[in-house]
Amino acid sequence: MNQFKHKSTKTLRIGISIFMLILTFGIVGYEVIEDYSFVDALYMTIITISTVGFGEIKPLSEMGRLFTSGLILMSLGNLAYLGTSVVTFIVEGELFEYIKNNRVNKRIHKLTNHVIVCGFGRNGEQACLELLDHNQEFVIIEKRDNVIDHVKEHPELLYIKGDATHEEVLISAGIDRAKALIATTPNDADNVFVVLTAREMNPNIKIISRASERGSDMKLKRAGANNVIMPERMGGQRMSKLVMQPDVVEFMEYVLLQSNKDVSLEEIGCNYMCPSFEGKSIEELKNVDRSGVNIVGIKQRSGKYIFNPQNNDVIQRTDKVFILGSIIQVGQFKKTLERGK
């Protein structure tokens, strides 16, 4: 189907190109042979190739009549070819496809603070489902025609057909405005190239990449990835954990992956924290906070994690806190942290 669509587009372009050549040929011919002005030559060429039957601007010379006859013969074949191309273009749906792609591109152009997902295989599709579940805007970059056809079945998905290793494709996806990029192509070399290119184009973007082979994780981190996920390794670890600690695994999956949002594990940046909390302890924060969330961890600026922090642990503006609670409780905690009450 895609081959036919590409063929109809090519045919239409050829028809339009030939028409423009004939139009130019007619204008130049009437200017040279009959000494017409540009406007008269354009008018005479149009009424000739359209065969509308209007009269001549002025009587033609013998050479002008021969030229006009040849122009009519050339234009008849071209108009038939062009007309067929236009009908084929519309019937095969490429006109609708062109309009739809324009709409998608306009929506992508308006995105800010979004996520770019490179590759829509099993891992990429799952990542997109999670992003949808969290109402996070994202753009898919995929180069395979059959996969793009699958993406198009979901009108809410924004996509770009292209190779994510090319800079112009990343620019089209808004790499300069994006907050994160997820590289999930099945080829580790492609992922390395995507990470290198994205990091160079946006030094502040968060990059998460998939890796399949041993050693690729270190290469990806050196290329600029913040995090590297190895699905095969994680799958093996999860299976062993289900044998040794099945309830722990199910509990964590419920907290992290469940969709009803009864409970949520969130990370909260303290960069917007009220100055009155700066340098204060967990206990002092709890005395003010009435949200009911549980603070289960702190990540310090150095990268050190504090699990199950004690009441005397201090929070700094450069820290991140991990809290467990409902969506409403999380919202209340954010307000308390920002307003100081």
Residues β-bridged to residue 209: 183, 228
Q: For residue 3, what pLDDT is reported?
A: 43
Strand partners, 266: 323
CA distance 202 to 330: 30
Q: Is there a domain that residue 252 lies in?
A: no
Handedness of CA 201, 207, 213, 216 (dihedral sign): positive
Count: domains in the chain: 3
Q: Quick count: other Cβ atoms within 10 Å of Cβ 80?
A: 11
Q: In terms of pTM, does the model score above 0.85?
A: no
| 116 and 56 belong to one structural domain | no
256 assigned to some structural domain: no
User: What is the domain-level CATH number for residue 284?
Assistant: 3.30.70.1450
- pLDDT, tens digit (0-9, with 9 covering 90-100), for 299-330: 988 888 888 888 898 888 888 888 888 888 88
Residue 295: give the domain boundaries. Answer: 261-339
Could you tell me if residue 240 is inside a domain?
A: no
Largest CA distance in the chain: 104
7-11, 174-178, 328-332: range with highest mean pLDDT = 174-178
Is the pLDDT confidence value at 227 over 70?
yes
Is the same domain home to 23 and 83? yes
Burial degree of 166 (CB within 10 A; 0-12, 13-18, 19+)? middle
CA distance 259 to 41: 69
DSSP 3-state assignment of 321?
strand
Domain of 201: which CATH number?
3.40.50.720
Residue with tokens 């990343």: 170
137 and 187 share a domain? yes
The strand order across the sheet containing 305-307 reads 264-269, 320-325, 294-299, 305-307
Amino acid (1-letter code) at residue 287: N
- The two three-digit tokens of residue 250, written as one number: 């199910």
Q: Which amino acid, one-letter code, is at 68?
A: T
- CATH number at 72 reads 1.10.287.70
- Are 129 and 228 in a shared domain? yes
Same-domain check for residues 88 and 152: no
